[in-house]
Structure 1
Amino acid sequence: MKIINWGIVGPGNIANTFAKAMQQSKRARLAAVASRSAERGQAFAKEYDIPAVYDNYQALAEDPKIDVIYIATPHSFHYPQAKLCLEAGKNVLLEKPSTINAKQIQILTELAKQQNVFFQEAIWSRFMPCLAKVKQKIADGVIGDIQYITSTIGFAFQHRDTNRLYDPKLGGGALLDLGLYPIALSQAILGEEPSVIQAMGNVSEKQVDETTIVNMQYPSGRYSQFTCSASGHCPNSMTIVGTDGNIVLPAMFWDTDQAQVFDLEGLVETIDFPHAVNGFEYQIEESMRCIDAGKHYSDLMTHDESIGIIKIMDQVRSQIGLQFCAEIEAI
């Protein structure tokens, strides 16, 4: 069994979740970490027994021992850091959202093809077995024909002392960080992209969207509606409504480990898929499987789908008047 050596860019909170999941893998090895803060890099390396620590990203990208790099920095850094790693010929797993705008993700996907490397957006929900089970239930006709999907996702981040969602230089706001999930899951469930998008939202004086509401109509005549908020504490559930019942993904629906199936009379089944670790393990294993197979991306989350998600968010941003600074929008 070939061991896959991983490097991590950005040893923050989400990288800790990722590292904990990787510790349970039989073939993944955390071999290096890169951080602009030498202190944070050293502390992260000590906690997870990582042999190599770099204080610049170029050095990690050029490390011949590293097979794949996980990028876990804030949104605004994704494009330049992923581009750097891909140009160095590295496989890349890039934390969501892939980029700030569609032009950036299109460049990265083309670069991955040119370099003949694996490049994957890390929308963890798309790799979870519970989602596959839900899709199978729908295909089996358990809830009849889907009519619409509705969801909310949000937290009262303004009560926290500091938060990156209120920093426009980091690509902050509710849409890119939270709204991505209902878009990505609707895309997976319906198997198509919207033909009509209607959005409303309030852009704060800090130039981030605090609450955004989006309606999407699909070519099949089905709908998806969601609210994302960085200032309101939402129920955080998703309901897939059909002609003969519905399926509910309860609180924290993006952490897809349970689904409740209802028919016309009430609850008929609860599907439980507790994570072996914390939910990140699925995308880790799928990434390594794809690297072994010489694939550029996983069929569970394709490049076209990643581009489609960012295009939708570009349209929403245009409608609500959300524009980030030229520095992070640049290609």
Structure 2
Amino acid sequence: MNKFNWAIMGPGSIADMFADALMASQKGILYAVASRDIDKAQAFADKYSADGASHQADGASHQTDGTSHQADGTSHQADGVVPKAYGSYQQMLADPEVDVVYIATPQSLHYEQAKMCLEAGKHVLMEKPLTINAAQTEALIALAQEKQLLLQEGLWSRFMPCFEQVKLWLDEGRIGELQYICSDIGFAFGDRDGHRLHNPALGGGALLDLGVYSITLSQCLMQEHPSEISAMSHFGNLQVDENTIVNMRYPSGRFAQFTCTIAAQASNSMMLMGSKGRIVLPYMFWNGNKAILQQEGAQDEVIEFAHRVNGFEYQIEESMKMIEKNQVCSDFMPHGDSLAVMQTMDEIRRQIGLKFTANAECI
């Protein structure tokens, strides 16, 4: 069985969740951690050392965007492996033992850092969104295909069994013809000075960080890209969108609507309406924990999904499988879908006037 040495760029709270899932993998090894701050990298590496994987085994719970995930307490980190800590991305990329890099930095840095990794011959799994505009995404896809390296957008929901079940229900016609998808997502973050969600230099706002879930899952379940988009937003005192509402029409005549917010507590649910019934994905729909099939005159069919670790394990295992198959992306989240999502968000940004700094947008 092949083993893969993983490095993490950006040791924050999301990287904690990723590392918990990676530690439970039989094929993946947490080999290195890189940050511009060597102390942060070292502290993160120390938490996940092979002789002290108590960070996972102690039942630690990590909170992000209002979501709590708990590891299953099982570590498969190779005996004697202590993650290396790098205070320079370039030094980490120069290490020939690094096979694949997980990028968990703010989205404004994704393009530059993924390009560095690909040019260094490293496979890449990147936190969503892949970049902050379609031009950057297109450039990275071309580079990955040229180098024949994995470039995988880590939109974790797309890899989860819950959404495979929803697609199966749709394919079986359990709710008839799908007509309409409605979702909302968001939390009241309040005033957090310097937080990345409030910072246009870091690609902040509700759309790129939260709205991307509604866009990509609607795209996945509709199996087509929107042909018409209408969007409105409220910026408040920020230079980023606090509240955004979007209507999308698809070539088939079907619709999807979503709201995303960093100023209010949303229901965080998704509903798919069909000619014979509906499918409900309840609170925190993107976590893929539960799907409810509702049909007129029938008892609700409820399926709950318990993640083996915290939900990150699916994209990790799929990424390693794609590398073994010499594929540049997975069918669960192909490059064409990543690009179409960015094109959709570019159009929404154009309509609502959401602009980021020139440095963040450049290629």
Normalising by structure 1, we get a TM-score of 0.98
The Cα offsets for residues 229-267 of structure 1, whole Å up to 9 and x where unpaired, read as 010100000000001110000000000121011001364
Paired-residue identity, %: 53
Partner in structure 1 of residue 304 of structure 2: 272
Q: Which amino acid aligns with 1:251?
A: Y
Q: CA deviation at 1:91?
A: 0.3
Partner in structure 1 of residue 20 of structure 2: 20
Q: CA deviation at 1:203?
A: 2.2
Q: Which amino acid aligns with 2:269?
A: S
The Cα offsets for residues 155-188 of structure 1, whole Å up to 9 and x where unpaired, read as 0011556632111111000000000000010011
The Cα offsets for residues 178-218 of structure 1, whole Å up to 9 and x where unpaired, read as 00000010011010000000000012332100000000000
Partner in structure 1 of residue 183 of structure 2: 151
Normalising by structure 2, we get a TM-score of 0.90
Q: CA deviation at 1:317?
A: 0.4
Partner in structure 1 of residue 41 of structure 2: 41
Q: Which amino acid aligns with 2:11?
A: P
Aligned pairs (5 A) from 1:103-252 = 103-158=135-190, 163-252=195-284
Q: How far apart, in 1, do the equivalents of 2:128 and 2:357 lie?
A: 20
Q: How far apart, in 1, do the equivalents of 2:189 and 2:299 lie?
A: 33
Q: How far apart, in 2, do the equivalents of 1:59 and 1:105 lie?
A: 25
Structure 2: any 5+ residue segments left out of the alignment? 50-81
Answer yes or no: is the 8 Å Cα contact 1:203–1:320 preserved in 2. no
Instruction: Output the aligned Cα RMSD.
Output: 1.0
Q: How far apart, in 2, do the equivalents of 1:327 and 1:160 lie?
A: 23
Q: CA deviation at 1:226?
A: 0.1
Where in structure 1 do 4 or more consecutive aligned residues deviate above 4 Å? Answer: 159-162
Structure 1: any 5+ residue segments left out of the alignment? none
Q: CA deviation at 1:37?
A: 1.1
Partner in structure 2 of residue 9 of structure 1: 9
Q: CA deviation at 1:53?
A: 1.0
Q: Which amino acid aligns with 2:289?
A: D
Aligned pairs (5 A) from 1:244-323 = 244-265=276-297, 267-323=299-355
Q: CA deviation at 1:51?
A: 2.9
Answer yes or no: is the 8 Å Cα contact 1:8–1:69 preserved in 2. yes
Aligned pairs (5 A) from 1:49-64 = 49=49, 50-64=82-96
Q: Which amino acid aligns with 1:25?
A: S
Q: How far apart, in 2, do the equivalents of 1:300 and 1:20 lie?
A: 22
Q: How far apart, in 2, do the equivalents of 1:61 and 1:95 lie?
A: 18
Partner in structure 2 of residue 102 of structure 1: 134
Q: How far apart, in 1, do the equivalents of 2:112 and 2:308 lie?
A: 33
Answer yes or no: is the 8 Å Cα contact 1:260–1:267 preserved in 2. no
Q: How far apart, in 1, do the equivalents of 2:279 and 2:238 lie?
A: 37
Number of equivalences: 331
Q: Secondary structure at the match of 2:97?
A: coil
Answer yes or no: is the 8 Å Cα contact 2:178–2:273 preserved in 1. yes
